Amino acid sequence: MTGERGATLADVAQRAGVSPSTVSRTLRGLSTVSPQTRERVEQAARELSFAISRSASSLVTGRTGRIAVLVPNMESWFLGAVLAGLAPELNAAGLDLLVYSVTTAEQRAQFFDRLPARRNADALLVVSFALSPEERERLDGLGMPLVFVSQHEKGRASVYVDDAEAALRGTRHLLNLGHRRIAYIEPADDSGFAWSSRARLEGYRAALAEAGAEHDEDLVRQVAQWQGPSLDAAVGRLLSLTEPPTAIFAETDDIAFRLLTVLRGANVPVPQRMSVLGFDDHAMAAAWDLSTMAQPARQLGVTAAELARSVVQEPEANLERHVVLPVELVPRGSTGPVPRQ
């Protein structure tokens, strides 16, 4: 009956003794099919090695069964952890995952010019991607649901952490240990994390103001995220101040790991001479004995998947739904009391 061409939907319908539309409804998981009919159709499909295609299904439902994700790169541990939480949840819901990694200026221009997600997915997850006003306008014109992950977008479904509050509590931890000269190191090339970066710096400054600690912009340093010499120079400037810091809050654990190495090379003991606090709770943070503000990266992905399903099924009901996940201090061996004079 099928020969070399492979089984068709009509072939399954004939074997199961039902109409092709019933086969389509069954294999798309719709509840309008009786259990007995569903069993016959699924049995026929197995015998003929038939699976309904995404494109065929979309002609009937108007949906592709795919969720697209826009990320600024694939190098970040944080982004990898978010995707690790996202993918299994979508898979369990029968949804495919498309990932668009837009890193260079050329790739960025091409993506926002062509907007491939419009044709290929039912929703777009924007993960830690700093959009220009023009790019935001382009996405608004997609005509498809948007979910923002690790950033708060007014009027859009979003899942994120309160970066400002978390940085405030992290700085309080150092203040409570007696530190008053606390440096802050942030990445100059935030690679899409601009919203989180600004909020964390605000939280750090707010904690210092709350405690009446001296505000000194010489203690705030920017470093290239992936280049060692930039951090070496920043640490050198901090250590050469008339009154150097006794603690450093690194905006990410990736920076904190390199910071620990630089301090070790400069014979600055941690935490006896310098306390170091990170942000993320990277998979290697415990191995480095790094105190950090732990954000639930994998859970952000899990929650994003749930939000994506919700906005596809009921866009109006979930358009402005916001989920804020907790960040917790994890004290380890890299922070300690201010050194005695």
Query: Does a cis peptide bond (omega within 30 degrees of 0) precede residue 271?
Result: yes
Q: Is this model's pTM higher than 0.85 or not?
A: no
Q: Token pair of 144, please?
A: 């498809």
CATH class of 66-161+297-326: alpha beta
| Burial state string for 180-209 with b = 16 or more CB within 10 A and e = fewer than 16 | bbbbbbbbeebbbbebbbebbbebbbbbbe
CATH number of the domain at 163-296, please? 3.40.50.2300
Q: Using the Cα atoms of residue 36, residue 38, residue 41 and residue 43 in order, give the sign of their dihedral.
A: negative
DSSP labels for 178-245? T--SEEEEEES--TT-HHHHHHHHHHHHHHHHHHT----GGGEEEE-TT-HHHHHHHHHHHHTSSS--
Question: CATH 3.40.50.2300 residue ranges in the chain?
Answer: 66-161+297-326, 163-296
Q: How far apart are CA 205 and CA 208, in angstroms?
A: 5
Classify 309 as helix, strand or coil: helix
* Positions of CATH 1.10.260.40 in the chain: 9-61
Instruction: Quote the CATH superfamily of domain 9-61.
Output: lambda repressor-like DNA-binding domains (1.10.260.40)
From first to last of the 341 residues of the chain, give the pLDDT tens digit. Answer: 444 456 787 888 899 999 888 887 777 666 678 888 988 988 888 887 765 554 444 444 456 788 999 998 888 899 999 999 999 999 888 888 999 999 888 998 888 888 877 667 888 999 998 888 888 888 887 778 889 999 888 888 899 999 999 999 999 999 999 999 999 999 886 555 677 888 999 999 999 999 999 889 999 999 976 566 789 999 999 999 999 999 999 999 999 999 999 999 999 999 999 999 999 999 999 999 999 999 999 999 999 999 998 888 876 666 778 999 999 999 999 999 998 86
- Per DSSP bridges, beta strands 291-294 and 328-330 are antiparallel
